[in-house]
Amino acid sequence: MRRRDFIKTGVGAVAAAGVMSARALAAEEPAKKKDRGFPPIAGGFDIPIPPQPVLRFGEGERIPSPDELVDILAIQRLQMTYGHLHEHGTADEIAALFHPEAELYALYLVGKGFRGRDQIRDWYAWWLPFYAEDGECYRHRPLNQVIDLHGDRAVSNSVLVAEGAPRANDQWTSCVGRYVHELIRHEGGWLFWRSWITLHSGTALSPRKSHPRFLWNTPE
């Protein structure tokens, strides 16, 4: 299975049996990728159901206070920084966005959680080269972010959209999923506390070399 063939899973069924193990994925990859070894072993603990956004039907949206706006902007910045580092950063930089005792559930590839900043850093040290191998012009971003504040805790729900164009394949690919983050205030800022990342679908887009809009990105 190529990495553009993503697992279809619902947010309310994050522990579904359809999540492919990293071992099975690696076994189906070309021989050149088997040398990278299997992904880091996850913590082995069960994955909880992620929190849902607070419903607001019939009530409208209350105007946040100045202090709440500061927190909302800080959390948005944290999420945007994560996306930027996923494209241009390192595993150490991404892991620094997580609390030292955080949990990460990377449901697009493994069916168990990572616990603690060290395990999370090891995961991204494996995943980032796999994600960007032979690739260029990746875009990784959250959309429609809804943030609910609960004092020193918060919940962020957003849509995940990522696109890329591997050099070895003339086909652009796009995937859609969801981020659910529980966040915690820590040393004057905000960090990820528990994070669920799911992918719902992947799509092959128009070949980039045949489209004038993408000609600037074509390797010589």
Alpha carbons 7 and 180: distance in angstroms, whole number:
17
The domain spans of the chain are 11-48+65-217
Alpha carbons 13 and 94: distance in angstroms, whole number:
26
Is the pLDDT at 178 greater than 50? The verdict is: yes
Per-residue pLDDT tens digits for 77-120: 999 999 989 878 899 999 999 999 999 998 877 778 999 999 99
Q: Which residues contact 116 (CB under 8 A, 6 or more apart)?
A: 100, 101, 102
Amino acid symbol at 170: D
Nearest-CA neighbor of 103 among 3, 181, 167, 170?
181
Per-residue pLDDT tens digits for 152-166: 999 999 999 887 766
Per-residue pLDDT tens digits for 38-56: 677 787 777 888 887 777 6
Is the pLDDT at 64 greater than 50? The verdict is: yes
- Is beta strand 139-150 parallel, antiparallel or unpaired with respect to 98-106? unpaired
Higher-pLDDT residue of 211, 183: 183
Task: Output the pTM of the full model.
Answer: 0.73
Q: Which fold has domain 11-48+65-217?
A: Nuclear Transport Factor 2; Chain: A, (3.10.450)
Is the pLDDT at 5 greater than 80? The verdict is: no
- Is beta strand 98-106 parallel, antiparallel or unpaired with respect to 189-207? parallel
Cβ(179)–Cβ(158) under 8 Å?
yes
Range of lowest pLDDT (16-20, 135-139, 168-172):
16-20
% of residues, the chain, pLDDT over 70: 65
Tokens, residue 166 = 């591997």
